[in-house]
Amino acid sequence: MLPFKLIYHPHYDLNLGPHVFPSQKFRLIAETLLSERIAAKDDFLQPEKASDEDLLRVHTPSWVHKLKTGTLTASEIMKLEIPYSTELREAVWLAAGGSILAAQFALRDGFASNIGGGFHHAYPNHGEGFCAIHDVAVAIRRLQHDKSIARAIVVDTDVHHGNGTAAIFADDPTVFTLSIHQENNYPAHKPPSTVDLNMWDRAADSEYLDALLPAVEKALDEFRPDILFYIGGADPFCEDQLGGLSLTRKGLLERDRRTFELARRRNIPVATALAGGYARRVEDTVRIHINTILAARDVATAFPSAARATN
C-alpha cells in the first residue's frame, strides 16, 4: 500500500509505565497506520537487534557492556532519566537495528521510516535524556562500513538540541549535522552541530519554516549527501509538555513534506526516525508522527522517478 517500508518491532516499547515519555506511542502509531489503512501488514518489516559490532562503531566498549549487563551507576541512570530494565535494553538494541534497516531500505526505495529510534541525546560513553544508544549514528556508521554511502546528513527537528549527534560527528567531515531546536531548553550544554538553528521561545510555524528550509536546501546543495536521516520530533508542537515552541500540527506536516521534497528533488534517499513527543494528549503525538509518514508518502508519490532504485 505504501511506496516504501515501515520498520517496527513490538518490543520497541521502553517499558516505562507512567512516565512523561509515552513509550506506548510506537505501538499506537503502528496500530493506527493499519487501522486507518494508511499501511498494510506487508509494508512493515521487523528489525533484528543491531550487533554489538554495529554499536561499537559509535559507543565505547564500557558503555555497551554496562547496558548489556545492567551495571549502570546511579548517576548514569539519573542522566538517562529512565529506569533501566532488560526490556529497555532489548528496545534500544532493536531501535538501532531498525534504523540500520530503514537506512538500507531508504537506499533501495528512496524512503523508509523507522517507527522508533531517533535517540539523539546518546553519547559514545553515556546516555542522556531518555536516549541510551544513538540508533541513527549506528546506522550511519554501518552504511559507511558497508560502503553503501560515503556522506550523510542528519536533519534533526526535535525541539531539543541534538547534542549526542553533534558530539559523535564533531570531527567528521563525512557527516553534516543540522539541528533546529528551542535554544532555552534541554540540554544545557549544546556542543555545536555543523549548523544549529536556535529558535526563540514560542516560535511559530512561519518563523520555524523560514529558518529550516533554506538551511536544509543550502546544506543539500553544498554537501551533497548520499542519504538524509530525518529525526522527526513531534515535540515542537504548541501543546508539548517538554517543548516551548508554538508549531501547529499543520506546520509540522509542512515541515516534513517540504524537507522531504528538497531531498527528493535532488535524488537523496530519506530515512526517518521518530524522536520525542510529549503532547498532553498522546493522540496528538501519534498523529504528528503519522503525518511524517503521510508526508513521505505524498512526496514519494508526487516525485516517483526520483527514487535511486529507478534511476
The answer to whether residue 59 forms part of the interface with Zn ion (CB under 5 A) is no
Cβ proximity to Zn ion: between 144 and 179 the closer is 179
Residue nearest to Zn ion (CB): 276
Q: Which stretch binds Zn ion (CB under 5 A): 191-199, 210-218, 255-263, 275-283?
A: 275-283
Cβ proximity to Zn ion: between 105 and 237 the closer is 237
Grid cell locating 296: 513521505
**Residues 114-173, interacting with Zn ion (CB under 5 A):** 158, 160
What is the nearest approach in angstroms of Zn ion to the Cβ of residue 234? Answer: 8
The residues, any chain, with a CB within 8 Å of residue 31's CB and separated by 6 or more, are none
What is the nearest approach in angstroms of Zn ion to the Cβ of residue 203? Answer: 15
What is the nearest approach in angstroms of Zn ion to the Cβ of residue 154? Answer: 14
Cβ proximity to Zn ion: between 16 and 39 the closer is 16
Is 249 within 8 Å of 291 (Cβ atoms)?
Answer: yes
Binding Zn ion (rule: CB under 5 A), the pick from 276, 285, 293, 296 is: 276
d(CA 183, CA 186): 8
What is the nearest approach in angstroms of Zn ion to the Cβ of residue 289? Answer: 13
The answer to whether residue 235 forms part of the interface with Zn ion (CB under 5 A) is yes
What is the nearest approach in angstroms of Zn ion to the Cβ of residue 109? Answer: 28
Is 155 within 8 Å of 216 (Cβ atoms)?
Answer: yes
Cβ proximity to Zn ion: between 142 and 161 the closer is 161
Cβ proximity to Zn ion: between 244 and 276 the closer is 276
The answer to whether residue 289 forms part of the interface with Zn ion (CB under 5 A) is no
CB-side neighbour CA atoms (13 Å) of 145: 13
- What b-and-e string marks burial along 11-49, b requiring 16 or more CB atoms within 10 Å of the CB? bbbbbbeeeebbbbbbbbbbebbbeeebbeeebbbebeb
> Which residue's entry shows cell 532488560?
86
Residue 123 Ramachandran class (φ > 0 left, ψ -120 to 50 alpha, else beta): beta
Q: Which stretch binds Zn ion (CB under 5 A): 27-35, 49-57, 81-89, 227-235?
A: 227-235
> Which residue's entry shows cell 510506537?
26
Length of the chain as a residue count: 311
> Which residue's entry shows cell 554489538?
52
Question: Footprint of Zn ion on this chain (CB under 5 A)?
Answer: 158, 160, 235, 276
